[in-house]
Amino acid sequence: MTKDTESSLWFQSIIAFPLHTCLIAIYPILFVYSRNLMNIPFRETIRYLGISELFFIFLLISFRVILKDWGRSGLLSSLIAALFFSFGHAANAIENFLLTTQLEFNLSVLAIIWLAVFLAASFFIASKPLPASTTRFFNLFSFILVGFVVINIASVGHINSELTQEEIAAIAQLRGEAAAESSLVPPTASELPDIYYIILDGYLRADYLEEYFNLDISPFLDELLERGFYIVSNSRSNYLNTNYSLNSSVNLVYFHEYPKKVFNKSKFNLYNNYLHDFLDKYDYQTVVFDSGTGDTNEQDLDIFVSLDRLEDQENPILNRFEQFFLKTTLGLLLFDSTDPDNSTGQANEMIRETVNQELAERRDRITLAFDHLPDYADRTGHFYLFSHIYSPHIPFLYGPDGTELSYRGDQNLYWYEVPQEDYPEYYGYQIDYLNKTILETIDQILSTSTKPVVIVVQADHGDELYLDRENPTREGVEVRSAILNAIYFSDGAYDQLYPSLTPVNTFRIILNHWFGTQYPLLPDRVFFHEDPLSTRIGEKPDFIDCCEEFGICLPPP
């Protein structure tokens, strides 16, 4: 046998081997990760990747021993993988569809259907000879699937890369930086304020809370007024998600006006941060409190305040990614229980313990921020403190009087959601807890501060309960964009503030007042856009002016 013949036979054997089983075993994991990679580190996927690959290779070899055929063994193994990994996605899609028809969804019925499909398909595969091209086709198909998702994941490195000097200059020109700072007279050190930027994720404006959630927060607003705050009574967010809104507020420009490359480098982080860079010139230390989300943790900082994890503390049985991913698979059945406490069975107990650990850690992060924001009030030097509080946004963490919520047995694919009819009630519990805790934190800051103080308590956007991004209505966009916005200046000089102030102008006013810049105010506008997770990596979505499209127009300053 010649070397060419040996090489040809070797190549034929390689392409005839069911590599598609090995690829399909990891594709769903990589795909789900690619949709959440800015909030979940890759290391959290490694255990799942290894277990899945080893299990399906074992399954492939076992079928090969029984069937004496690699082709049918591979197809059976890939069938099981496809059914296992698609179960949760199918269940969620069916449940969402049935919500519109008022029909009840029974997860066990879908499991029976999946079993029937498996039995019928496996009988056909095991009893019929397969064409030699079948394995080659599925190998090529699975290779293309995995290739696309790997390219998407790899491209994020470019998206989050640093801005070039040309790009920095373009943003500075867009901001009007040169003109605003041309006659800047630096204030003395004693005149410089500590700046507290507290972002409450999804905190709706007072009038909408009362209308849509039957929640009256006027006592809370009165308490803020008594402490000297200015309430921006008609404020709206400029965008409908966290990172677009915060990129606008800290950069003093509308985020969608960035060049496409700059937009994509910045949309999942806050490294492009004019406010930090400006304050850095005055020797401010930037203090960032751990939010648990990469899009706001990822920014230039001097001090990062996070939970101290004891070395002997027991790690969660499942990490964040594993919790989420399990519910997109046949593992969703572990969450389905007729027991209200969901305490039957070892598997359900494991899920409950894991979820409760996650909920507790989220509460601990919020407590950490509120407890330690006042720590810097009497310290020497000047501080810019950034705290993104992931509440009242779901997952809901608090019950009546701040009680700690735990795992619920009737939760659906996304464990943190409550039934829609209960949503306003539980949303209100988060508001009650935040209001009480915010006032306590503000009191500590003001009572111990030895320097001028600026405090901005501002939501990044409103609530999403009424927003359908596929078919947006004026009502949904209004509720999503109406935000709590309260600002405190220790000198009480609020002549530049106005009722319809939006985040894009917040720090234009603050820098003008306290540092002497001359930034003109931009027109206050709201823009509708698709969910960033629905936007393809490397693409820039369309931004729709809500004044033109929905009649949501804000008066000029």
**Which of 136, 156, 176 delimits the end of a domain?**
156
**Does residue 123 sit within a domain?**
yes
Give the model's pLDDT for residue 345. 42
> CB-based burial of residue 310 (10 Å sphere; 0-12 exposed, 13-18 middle, 19+ buried)?
exposed
**Does residue 459 sit within a domain?**
yes
Per-residue pLDDT averaged across 155-175, rounded?
82
Considering the domain architecture, whether residues 152 and 217 belong to the same structural domain is answered as no
**Which of 156, 190, 208 delimits the end of a domain?**
156
Q: 107 versus 464: which is more confidently predicted?
A: 464
- Mean pLDDT, all residues of the chain: 86
Considering the domain architecture, whether residues 204 and 147 belong to the same structural domain is answered as no
C-alpha span between 491 and 449 (Å, rounded): 13
Please list the alpha-helical segments (H only) found in 252-319.
260-266, 274-280, 294-297
Query: What is the number of structural domains in the chain?
Result: 2
Lowest mean pLDDT among 1-10, 208-217, 465-474, 492-501: 1-10
Give the model's pLDDT for residue 414. 43
C-alpha span between 358 and 475 (Å, rounded): 33
C-alpha span between 509 and 358 (Å, rounded): 39
Q: Which candidate, 31, 24, 460, 11, places its Cα nearest to that of 237?
A: 460
Q: What CATH number is attached to the domain comprising 523?
A: 3.40.720.10
Considering the domain architecture, whether residues 425 and 516 belong to the same structural domain is answered as yes
Q: Which candidate, 113, 219, 183, 232, places its Cα nearest to that of 499?
A: 232
Give the model's pLDDT for residue 515. 96
Per-residue pLDDT averaged across 356-365, rounded?
89
Per-residue pLDDT averaged across 374-397, rounded?
95
Per-residue confidence at 121, pLDDT binned at 50, 70, 90? confident
- The SS3 call for residue 449 is coil
Considering the domain architecture, whether residues 13 and 98 belong to the same structural domain is answered as yes
Per-residue confidence at 129, pLDDT binned at 50, 70, 90? confident
Considering the domain architecture, whether residues 257 and 371 belong to the same structural domain is answered as yes
**Does residue 39 sit within a domain?**
yes
* pTM across the whole model: 0.79
**Does residue 111 sit within a domain?**
yes
**Does residue 56 sit within a domain?**
yes
CB 118 within 8 A of CB 57: no
Considering the domain architecture, whether residues 301 and 424 belong to the same structural domain is answered as yes
Considering the domain architecture, whether residues 423 and 524 belong to the same structural domain is answered as yes
Considering the domain architecture, whether residues 386 and 465 belong to the same structural domain is answered as yes
Residue 480 corresponds to which amino acid? Answer: R
Per-residue confidence at 346, pLDDT binned at 50, 70, 90? very low
**Does residue 338 sit within a domain?**
no
User: pLDDT over 90 for what percent of the chain?
Assistant: 52
- For 489-530, what is each residue's pLDDT tens digit? 999 999 999 999 999 999 999 999 999 999 999 999 999 999
Per-residue confidence at 413, pLDDT binned at 50, 70, 90? very low
Q: 518 versus 420: which is more confidently predicted?
A: 518
Lowest mean pLDDT among 127-136, 175-184, 538-547: 127-136
Considering the domain architecture, whether residues 219 and 139 belong to the same structural domain is answered as no
| CA distance from start to end of the chain | 86
Considering the domain architecture, whether residues 151 and 222 belong to the same structural domain is answered as no
Q: Which candidate, 516, 454, 533, places its Cα nearest to that of 490?
A: 454
Per-residue pLDDT averaged across 478-494, rounded?
97
**Does residue 536 sit within a domain?**
yes
Q: 159 versus 157: which is more confidently predicted?
A: 159
**Does residue 74 sit within a domain?**
yes
Domain that holds residue 72: 3-156
Considering the domain architecture, whether residues 111 and 232 belong to the same structural domain is answered as no
Considering the domain architecture, whether residues 14 and 139 belong to the same structural domain is answered as yes
Classify the phi-psi angles of 176: left when phi > 0, otherwise alpha if psi is within -120 to 50, otherwise beta. Answer: left
How much helix, strand and coil, in percent to the nearest 5, is found in the chain?
55, 10, 35
Give the model's pLDDT for residue 313. 43
Residue 365 corresponds to which amino acid? Answer: R
Residue 163 corresponds to which amino acid? Answer: L
Q: Output the six-digit token pair for 316.
A: 């969660």
Per-residue confidence at 103, pLDDT binned at 50, 70, 90? low
Estimate to the nearest angstrom the gap between the alpha carbon of 205 and the chain centroid: 21
- Which residue(s) pair with 454 in the sheet? 195, 489
